[in-house]
Amino acid sequence: MTPKERVLAALAGLPVDRAPVLSANQTATYGQMDVSGAEWPEAHQKAEPMAKLALAAHSVLGFDAVRAPYCQTIESEALGCTVKYAGREGIPRIDVHAFKIGDEIALPEDFLTRGRVPELIEAVRLMKEAVGDGVAVMGNIVGPFSIVANLIGITDALKASFKRPDSLIPLMEVAEQAGTMLGKALVEAGADILVIEDMMASIDVISPPIYRNLAQPYEAKQIANLPDVPTIMHICGKLNPIMAEVAETGTTAISVEPSVDAVAAKEVLRGFPRYVALIGGVDAVVTLFSGTPEDVKNDVRKALADGYDIIAPGCSVPPSAELENLRAMVEAAEEAAV
């Protein structure tokens, strides 16, 4: 199987020659920057280095998918937030929140030409051009509630989510439209899969009722509005209490942290008439960042035993994670197949 065939088959619950390995979230490391010659901050800002660094996930690590971008600020910047960079070492962060609750907000017609949006679209086109149909190309968009947290600040977003959830609706609408418009453009540029990162919709952050009543309906709306490609929903935290609701968004697969009870999660997902794949299994901090290749392999073996369909870090890859630790994910998946 080609890497792309492997990923698409696993997403559909079909047989694979071995479990695919990828990262739904930020995948770049300093090691990949050294090898590829593409570095931050340029790879956050310009299409060419962005694509070049993304391709290292396959050429350097042996992952079955490549992905961009490396931060969660692109939509928010295009909607008016200002962004601060952190040089070669770090990821851009929101500097100034562009909105307050109650402000008028509408999706700018020229959204796709604003900020770094065109660079991301072009990067995905370059990635597709480089890998063709051999390797899966994933484009990441940020989920509606997480964009709103960027637009007005997380504390205000959380307080309002509890006290006056209706006051967030105009922001949620625009956030969904922005992500969806970007997602469509990424698919046109060649993305085989869309990843929706909605890390702030985690129930480590909001309560299950707020997820159900506020965050989830906009995720579901987004997935309904996106083109017909497989989607991966990534939400941080121990998702078990809302597993069914996440699947009800219509997402093809769910990417989770190792704090999730994967066996229980799979049990819930098997209750759905369609196949819903589970992605994750490797602890990004404890194992990838602080552990050894053998620790990584142990995580992978446990993940496969627990029923994960695709092996991935449970969260963004720490940029200082060693190449050998990341490569150990692929080695363990290969060893398990023999």
CA distance 191 to 76: 21
Q: Is 203 in the site for another protein (CB under 8 A)?
A: yes
Which residues inside 46-75 make contact with another protein, applying CB under 8 A?
A: none
CA distance 301 to 245: 28
Helices 293-306, 262-270: inter-axial angle, 10-degree rounding: 30
Angle at 70 between CA 283 and CA 121, to 5 degrees: 135
Which residues inside 160-179 make contact with another protein, applying CB under 8 A?
A: 161-163
From 83-91, 130-138, 226-234, 274-282, span contacting another protein (CB under 8 A): 83-91
Q: How many residues bind another protein (CB under 8 A)?
A: 29
Binding-site member from 210, 215, 235, 277 for another protein (CB under 8 A): 210
Q: Is 274 in the site for another protein (CB under 8 A)?
A: no
Nearest distance from residue 324's CB to another protein, in Å?
17
- Helix extents (H) in the chain: 3-12, 30-36, 42-45, 47-59, 74-78, 117-131, 144-152, 154-163, 169-189, 208-210, 216-225, 243-247, 262-270, 293-306, 323-337
CA distance 252 to 278: 9
Q: Is 272 in the site for another protein (CB under 8 A)?
A: no
Binding-site member from 104, 155, 166, 338 for another protein (CB under 8 A): 155
Q: Is 292 in the site for another protein (CB under 8 A)?
A: no
* Tokens (6 digits) for 145: 């509630």
Give yes or no for a cis peptide into 41 (omega within 30° of 0). Answer: yes
Binding-site member from 34, 103, 204, 267 for another protein (CB under 8 A): 204
Nearer to another protein, 54 or 288 (CB): 288
Q: Is 275 in the site for another protein (CB under 8 A)?
A: no
Nearer to another protein, 204 or 267 (CB): 204
Q: Are 58 and 27 in contact (CB under 8 A)?
A: no
Q: Is 316 in the site for another protein (CB under 8 A)?
A: yes
* Tokens (6 digits) for 23: 């990262």
From 12-20, 136-144, 156-164, 220-228, span contacting another protein (CB under 8 A): 156-164
Q: Is 144 in the site for another protein (CB under 8 A)?
A: no
192 by Cβ neighbours in 10 Å (0-12 / 13-18 / 19+) ranks as buried
Q: Are 235 and 259 in contact (CB under 8 A)?
A: no
Binding-site member from 206, 239, 256, 312 for another protein (CB under 8 A): 206
Nearest distance from residue 153's CB to another protein, in Å?
9
* Tokens (6 digits) for 249: 């968004």
Q: Is 96 in the site for another protein (CB under 8 A)?
A: no
Summarize as ranges the residues that interact with another protein (CB under 8 A): 84, 86, 89-91, 93-94, 154-155, 158-159, 161-163, 203-207, 210, 285-286, 289-290, 316, 318-321
